[in-house]
Copies of this chain bind each other. A is one copy, B any other.
Amino acid sequence: MNPEQAYQELLARARELALIGSVNGVLGWDQEVNMPRKGAAWRAEQSAYLAGLAHRKATTPEINDLLSAIEESDLVSDPLSDVAVNAREWRREYDRATKLPTEFVERFSRTASLAQNIWAEARARADFSLYAPKLDELIELTRQKAEYYGYEDKPYDALLDEFEPGEKTENVKRLFAGLREELVPFLQEIVDAPKQPDFGLVEDREYPVERQRILGEMASAALGLDYASARLDVSTHPFSTNFGPGDQRITTRFDPRNFGDSFFSILHETGHALYEQNLPDEFFGLPRGSAVSLGIHESQSRTWENLVGRSQAFWRYFFPLTRQIFPKTLSDVRMEDFHFAVNAVKPGYIRVDADEVTYNLHIMLRFEIEQAIINEGLPVEEIPAAWNALFKAYLGLDVPDDSKGVLQDIHWSFGAMGYFPTYALGNLYAAQFFAQARNDIPDMDVLFAAGNFEPLLNWLRQRVYQHGQRYRAHELVQVVTGKPLSYKPLMSYLRDKYSQLYGIA
């Protein structure tokens, strides 16, 4: 077969899969944001149908023939060319997808779709037993999935590889162990520091919801989010999704007495959406126009949420605006105290509320639990106790009920195990990229303080976004920073920032 023709044919098929996948994205978003309760059963059928359709189309043996025609041709002689990048990732997807029977994919999708509503109800009632039978089903399906995919060492590797291609459990363990060794004593220094923030400023004052929404939209627009192709909505658990070129959706949730919960969720999801909005549109739906991995994706959300959004320079610019939006609430508050308050380090129950210092401990806990479930067969009814015991060990707290513990996250309910570690990897990538950006843009703090975030956005466009999947995550970090991924830039950033804030010598 003519390789050029084969490539054109694969492009057309990729476009069809992108259409189906993006439609399923609309269904998933609507399910979280809008859907009335009784719509769940039919929505599950709709999603499962599209997932099955996509899977059949992605696994037809013709794709193998078309790919082979390219792989044996000159079209891929430059491994960084658009064709070669697409072919490489299509091959990966095809090989993975053909390992799962269509019937299995449909069953998985249907179960996960139903599980999400059950999870939401169980969480609202703080009753794990409502959720346990469905979760057990999903775990069994997830173990089956790992077996279908295959693995060298432990089944968990097969799951991790789905979200962070090429990443290994052992490498993550090594990075996490190094970080924990330095982080835990540093956290103790922070907790013991005599200077402490007044976090009541941001967690226990009146922040009317409609004003929070306006300020959140202002901030995300200031960072560069284009609202002609984006929307902010409300859901139980904040998330972002991409419906296609020109249509990114982010969500948050509002608490009328808590400023940070919604504000930093919005900045977080804005980071995800900025990555999607700035991928090359001409390659939409192709590997060459797609995000590298969940870890790299998370690095962008954490960059804009934390490295930018919790910086002193950002608040120099944004605090006067914030005080104008909440004049009654903040008239007596100084910028320095507000900035300290939004950076309060405080071991707490909820991952998405966690500060930068404790956040990774939440992830390490999930990483351990997931390995226990998948590799060691931890029974579903023992998960809450295992969770609570590890939580006590890592964060020193007794979990009061499961809505603040094992039920807090949506991920397992859509069948995503192996996903959590990518959050902490994201923090590592973010810090390493950002150290490089600081090096390349020396006056970054001055720019931020003037409300100018475009130089950083442009730097990310050029260094990260424009490449799509040209590089795998571990290659990208090498290309951008000249070094392999390390926990040291994150640790160094945390040490500098929080030593100064808390007056630690």
Contact = CB atoms under 8 A, between A and B. Distances in A.
Interface stretch (A27-35, A79-87, A375-383): A27-35
Nearest to A42: B244
A41 B246 contact: yes
A60 interface: no
A19 B19 CA distance: 16
A22 B228 CA distance: 27
Interface in A442-477: none
Nearest to A227: B36
A230 interface: yes
Size class of the A contact interface (CB-based, 8 Å)? 35 or more
A39 B245 CA distance: 6
Given A30-B30, A36-B227, A37-B228, A247 B42 contact: yes
Contacts of A435: none
Contacts of A318: none
A438 interface: no
A492 interface: no
A263 interface: no
B30 A46 contact: no
Contact of A244 (B20, B46, B50, B246): B46
A97 B245 CA distance: 31
Contact of A46 (B23, B226, B231): B23
A105 B162 CA distance: 38
Chain B CB count within 10 A is highest, among A27, A37, A243, for A243
Nearest to A36: B229
Contact of A26 (B22, B30, B38, B246): B30
Contacts of A34: 231, 233
Contact of A247 (B23, B36, B227, B228): B36
Q: Decide if the interface of chain A is mainly helix, strand, loop or mixed.
A: helix
Contacts of A23: 23, 27, 46, 49-50
Chain B CB count within 10 A is highest, among A16, A30, A35, A226, for A30
Interface string A33-76: 01111111111011001100000000000000000000000000
B243 A38 contact: no
Contacts of A233: 34
Interface string A10-29: 00000010011011001100
A228 B34 CA distance: 11
A231 to B, nearest CB: 6
Contacts of A26: 26-27, 30, 46
Interface string A120-158: 000000000000000000000000000000000000000
Interface of A: 16, 19-20, 22-23, 26-27, 30, 34-43, 45-46, 49-50, 226-231, 233, 243-247, 284
30 contacts: A16-B49, A20-B49, A22-B46, A23-B23, A23-B27, A23-B46, A23-B49, A23-B50, A26-B27, A26-B30, A34-B231, A34-B233, A35-B231, A35-B247, A36-B231, A36-B247, A38-B246, A39-B229, A39-B243, A39-B244, A39-B245, A40-B246, A41-B245, A41-B246, A42-B245, A42-B246, A42-B247, A42-B284, A43-B243, A46-B244
Q: Nearest 7 CB-CB pairs, A to B?
A: A39-B247, A38-B246, A42-B244, A38-B229, A19-B49, A39-B246, A38-B228
